[in-house]
Structure 1
Amino acid sequence: MNLESVVEIFEKEFSSKNTLEHVYEISRYHRIQGSQGLIDAGNYIFKQAKSYGLSVKKITFKFDGVSEFFGFTTPLGWDIRDAWFKIVKPHEKLVSTFKEVPTMVIAHSPGTCGEVFEGEIVYVGYWKPGIFRKVNVEGKFVLISERPYNVFVEAARAGAKGIIVFKRNSPEPNAVPYFGLFLTKKEARKYSKTIALSVSEKVANEMISAIEHGRDVVVQAFVDAEHRVKQGFSIVADVEGEREEYVGFIAHYCHPSPGANDNASGSATLIEMARTIRTIYDRGELNRGEFGFRFIWVPEYTGTLAILAKEPSAISEINFLINLDMVGESQWKTGSVFNIIKSPLVLPYFGNELAEYVADIVFKKEQTFSGSTRTPKIKYASTEYSIGSDHDVFCFARKSSIMLNQWPDKYYHTHMDTPDKVDPEMLKMAGVMA
């Protein structure tokens, strides 16, 4: 059987409807690393994989702010229940609530312990080391662009009530960006009196304009959040082959709600891929090969490093890996291109060339004007290795790994990464190709 026939079998069985339903379900959870939402999303994935008759297990670890894997410390667990932020001077305006904008509280921010924090805004532009030795921020809120962890630590040391972070030159000025602090246990205790918020570039510019015109800007904020040790886990599900060797697939299931493309799309596609392969084998449409298929869902980096440290055979038994990270974009909405990010040249393997060949089969479905050849249905490209997701850990472990990823995405890491930006046909093409 040739490769084109194999692709046809997968195209026939793979359900874009199923995958989109998984995207919507996973997007419901606020999946910050160390949160209950992450646990709930992981349990949903585990239940789905188990229902398909796969051999499934959890590899557990602690979000305790102390445990280390290869020099990386897990953040202390964190849950948030409610929050709001408003301007009270020079005019009153409710800016955001957690229920409407989950990214408004920077992940792992301390809470206000039942109080409402009020303070004047101090705009400091860009962060640089030692900036608060020259600017008095005690009892105030610091407005600054990006670098949230560095700003938070220095502002907390200087006695600030909070930091308010925004992203400059945002492709979507109304979008509230996602940032994370990933605090250790020691840091969470040491800096517990300062909160961290995120606002859109549009709101930030409104406050900056008022300050530059000589008006005081005073804000209030309430954050109902707490740090505590939480369980974390990675999920490993196998479709067995003739030998205990596998082709691996991985997707991270963390990130704030909705996080539809990043990365409910990859996690959902992996669920449907597992169902599809198991169904095709059970029907006898394809014979089991020498290699099995191993599906892995992780909290990004943390969960992959935990596997490598606690159960290295789960990685050593994999010969080649494909990472699915942001694969479902509606390209005309997000402005993205489907990228095949190759394994580094120091890890030679046929997977790079095979991925490009299969992509041509899956994506080139339309005829040219003359009808003499075929043209792609989507924008896609093959690029050299670049870092940024869980394939990095596999490359570190000397396993050839590629990543399927859509980039750029103007809603990336914002509260506007919603399921309506997901294209079910794109989910299917990504899953069939992988």
Structure 2
Amino acid sequence: MLPEDFVQSVHRTVSGIKAKDYAKGISQYHRIQGTDELGRALDFIQSEIGKISDAKIKRFEYPADGKGKIGLWKNLHGWTPKSATLSVIEPEERKLCDFDTQRISLAAHSTAIDCDFEVIDVGRGLLEKDYQNLDVKGKVVLTYSKQSRVHRIACLEKGAAGILSYRRSTGKDDSSQLRPYEGLWPEPEDKENTGFGFSLTRLDGLQIKRWLEEGEKVVVRAKVDAKLGEGKHQILSALMEGEDTSQELWLVAHVCHPNPGANDNASGSGAILEALRTISRLIREDALKNPEISIRFIWMPEWHGTIQLIDSEEELLEKCKFVINADMVGADPCKTGSMLNFFRTPYSLPSTLNNVLTYWLAQEAERDYDASTGGTIVPLPWKEKVYSAGSDHFLFTDSTVGIPAVMLNQFPDKFYHTSEDTTDKLDPQQMLFVCSALTLSALSIVYPRYVCKETLLTHCRNEMRDISNRVINEAMSILGQCLDDPEKIYPRTMRWLTYAQKLAMSTLDKASEEWYFISEEKDLLEALKASIEMSYATEMVVARKAYLGACAEVGVEAKGKDEFDLESYNLKVEAKRTLKYAFPPSAIYDLPPQRRDRYFQILQKDSHMFRWVDELLNLSSDWTQIEEIWDKLSFQFGKIQLKRVMDVVQDLQKLEVVQVRDG
């Protein structure tokens, strides 16, 4: 995709060891949103930038004072923690937590307290039935669930003073000393009633649970010196100006999370800093000219800082062409059980950005790495996946913003959001792999005149083939084994193949907008579109043959292709979004308890549910049949129950996020 001298220059310059060193430096700070220490982490990054680049530095600051909201995103309070300890004093005496030695042991946003409390075990603590026959008022609850969810129910609704949490064994790790990362995340109106929380080791959590099961009374002494108040959301930007200052590529990483927070997300923050160092050095040494398009590197507090930037910096946002989000990218796959995932843009937002990243990830994964640089010597796995939310990129891909954004992310990571997410688990070779792919992707975008257009466009065409193959293989498996009604599967397959064909055509059309030189290649574009049409026609024939075979097998008369009305829906109900900006998952707390409890149960089984809720809103920018939305969601994410989609739409209507009408 780029000339070989570009590639070799990057390989000679980029360093996984340097990227890991940056991550180590960032990891030493306790980087909670709205705290001064997050600002000190940004000071460290800014100091490093000054040593390696003449990029233009800018700090964006927005109030973190618990006042106002943007869309449904409520502003956080600033938080100032000074000290905290937790000790058990009955049935025995010993210290359980100390903020001075393990900052992650104090839940973020805890408030001041100095008192003794009886402990009550509420188990999951998310549903009303978890509190049956329990009096938690003025006491501390023990749970294995996320404190942010339990705090709303146990403390704010039922009067508990605080929360102790531990992580149950998942079978993915065996560390008895592991503590989960917890935060209370109080709503602005809950400032005066916010309690406190401590994160226990698994060993201590299970010991307290065992005492309670044996009928022992458990009393703890909690001392917390911390307060909610006025703080700042701070964002650091480093701009490398290109010839065209009206267009920018953004490389972003959230810098927040508690100490140590090595993979999440000191690694992503260190990776984009290493990309900045590499590109700056290549320009300084005349291996590269100044870029045609500007590159902006951004370190921000996750979600809450990003939404402030999007809403406040309209002129800056208009310059943003693409966003690449690096979130958890540096862990040793062998130590953490992780794999690098590339999460593409949602299908509602086609873009060649997906093809640039997947090309370079594939190239760099096959590269022979020098073992002398340290790190793992096993193959570096990665996988392309459909759109997923969960990090800052989804704020950009929302249809009310509409900027193509993708994410590099390692998951699963068995030490995710725990005290064991430490720098010894970061791997120089993994960091080198990501930094190389990230840098080469960035160079492809900001030096477009050097990009091989045939490679880029062919990659776009091949993506459609991959999606169509997934659809047709699933259909052939179902129809060939008579696993479902052929009268249902065949028209669905025809619709989904059509969706894939339209996505491919839209991506090629988008290429003409995103790359100025491609609009001139009309013959090449038409040839690739003809290739897509040919593949589409072939897949439709295969689907037809599979349908005819299934009908013969079950003894029903096959219908003609034209007898199926592919655009007719039984459910005559339409939806249209009214919400500006992406939907924050915490908004479900505003639903009645029974509905809220239902989402907690669903999320236990489908932790990625909000990715299709996001896309549901993207697909309802104008009045659209809900059944059509459901069909497109199932095409993209796999089988989703229509009833569940309808239930979500009804709840979104209650939250005044969408309007609904008979269609």
Note the 1:34-433 alignment, pairs <5 A. Answer: 34-51=34-51, 52-112=53-113, 115=114, 117-130=115-128, 132=131, 134-157=133-156, 158-170=158-170, 171-172=172-173, 173-191=176-194, 194-244=195-245, 245-366=247-368, 377-396=379-398, 397-433=401-437
Question: By how many angstroms is 1:16 displaced?
Answer: 2.7
Question: By how many angstroms is 1:67 displaced?
Answer: 3.6
User: What letter matches 2:162 in structure 1?
Assistant: G
Q: Provide the C-alpha distance between the structure 2 equivalents of 1:175 and 1:425, rounded to a whole number of angstroms.
A: 26
- Contact persistence 2:14–2:278 (CA under 8 A): yes
Between the two proteins, what is the percent identity of the paired residues?
31
Question: By how many angstroms is 1:386 displaced?
Answer: 0.6
Aligned residues between the structures? 422
Question: By how many angstroms is 1:387 displaced?
Answer: 0.6
Q: Provide the C-alpha distance between the structure 1 equivalents of 2:106 and 2:294, rounded to a whole number of angstroms.
A: 42
Q: Provide the C-alpha distance between the structure 1 equivalents of 2:159 and 2:207, rounded to a whole number of angstroms.
A: 25
Using structure 1 for the length normalisation, give the TM-score: 0.92
SS in 1 for 2:350: coil
- Contact persistence 1:340–1:404 (CA under 8 A): yes
Q: Provide the C-alpha distance between the structure 2 equivalents of 1:3 and 1:106, rounded to a whole number of angstroms.
A: 50
Question: By how many angstroms is 1:68 displaced?
Answer: 2.1
- Contact persistence 1:120–1:217 (CA under 8 A): yes
SS in 1 for 2:179: coil
Instruction: Tell me the alpha carbon deviations over residues 16-35 of structure 1, each in whole angstroms, 9 at most, x when there is no partner.
Output: 33322221211111101111
Q: Which has the larger radius of gyration?
A: 2
- Contact persistence 2:76–2:304 (CA under 8 A): no
- Contact persistence 2:267–2:329 (CA under 8 A): yes
Question: By how many angstroms is 1:152 displaced?
Answer: 1.7
Q: Provide the C-alpha distance between the structure 2 equivalents of 1:80 and 1:339, rounded to a whole number of angstroms.
A: 35
User: What letter matches 1:292 in structure 2?
Assistant: S
Question: By how many angstroms is 1:80 displaced?
Answer: 1.3
Q: Provide the C-alpha distance between the structure 2 equivalents of 1:104 and 1:376, rounded to a whole number of angstroms.
A: 34
Question: By how many angstroms is 1:216 displaced?
Answer: 1.6
Question: By how many angstroms is 1:241 displaced?
Answer: 1.5
Q: Provide the C-alpha distance between the structure 1 equivalents of 2:2 and 2:27, rounded to a whole number of angstroms.
A: 37
Question: By how many angstroms is 1:406 displaced?
Answer: 0.7
Q: Which runs of 5+ in 2 are unaligned?
A: 370-376, 439-663
Which is further off, 143-152 or 255-264? 143-152
Question: By how many angstroms is 1:101 displaced?
Answer: 2.1
Q: Provide the C-alpha distance between the structure 2 equivalents of 1:13 and 1:44, rounded to a whole number of angstroms.
A: 22
User: What letter matches 2:405 in structure 1?
Assistant: S
Question: By how many angstroms is 1:145 displaced?
Answer: 2.2
- Contact persistence 1:77–1:228 (CA under 8 A): yes
Q: Provide the C-alpha distance between the structure 2 equivalents of 1:3 and 1:120, rounded to a whole number of angstroms.
A: 68
Which stretches of structure 1, 4 residues or longer, exceed 6 Å deviation after superposition? Answer: none
User: What letter matches 1:275 in structure 2?
Assistant: R
Q: Provide the C-alpha distance between the structure 2 equivalents of 1:72 and 1:197, rounded to a whole number of angstroms.
A: 26
SS in 2 for 1:187: helix
Q: Provide the C-alpha distance between the structure 2 equivalents of 1:292 and 1:331, rounded to a whole number of angstroms.
A: 33
Instruction: Tell me the alpha carbon deviations over residues 81-125 of structure 1, each in whole angstroms, 9 at most, x when there is no partner.
Output: 22122222222232221123222111101121xx2x212211111
Instruction: Tell me the alpha carbon deviations over residues 133-184 of structure 1, each in whole angstroms, 9 at most, x when there is no partner.
Output: 7421233211122142332233334332321122333434431101212224
SS in 1 for 2:256: coil
Which is further off, 386-395 or 233-242? 233-242
Q: Provide the C-alpha distance between the structure 2 equivalents of 1:45 and 1:142, rounded to a whole number of angstroms.
A: 39
Q: Provide the C-alpha distance between the structure 2 equivalents of 1:37 and 1:414, rounded to a whole number of angstroms.
A: 19
Aligned equivalent of 2:21: 21
Structure with the bigger percentage of helix: 2
In the superposition, relative to structure 1, how do residues 341 and 3 fare at CA in structure 2: closer, same or farther (>3 Å)?
farther
User: What letter matches 2:213 in structure 1?
Assistant: E
- Contact persistence 2:126–2:145 (CA under 8 A): no
- Contact persistence 2:97–2:198 (CA under 8 A): no
Question: By how many angstroms is 1:376 displaced?
Answer: 7.9
Question: By how many angstroms is 1:50 displaced?
Answer: 4.0
SS in 2 for 1:196: strand
- Contact persistence 1:126–1:144 (CA under 8 A): yes
Aligned equivalent of 2:512: none
Using structure 2 for the length normalisation, give the TM-score: 0.61
Q: Provide the C-alpha distance between the structure 2 equivalents of 1:147 and 1:416, rounded to a whole number of angstroms.
A: 17
Q: Provide the C-alpha distance between the structure 2 equivalents of 1:353 and 1:159, rounded to a whole number of angstroms.
A: 52
Aligned equivalent of 2:465: none
User: What letter matches 2:421 in structure 1?
Assistant: D
SS in 2 for 1:430: helix
Q: Provide the C-alpha distance between the structure 1 equivalents of 2:342 and 2:4, rounded to a whole number of angstroms.
A: 19
In the superposition, relative to structure 1, how do residues 3 and 330 fare at CA in structure 2: closer, same or farther (>3 Å)?
farther
SS in 1 for 2:432: helix
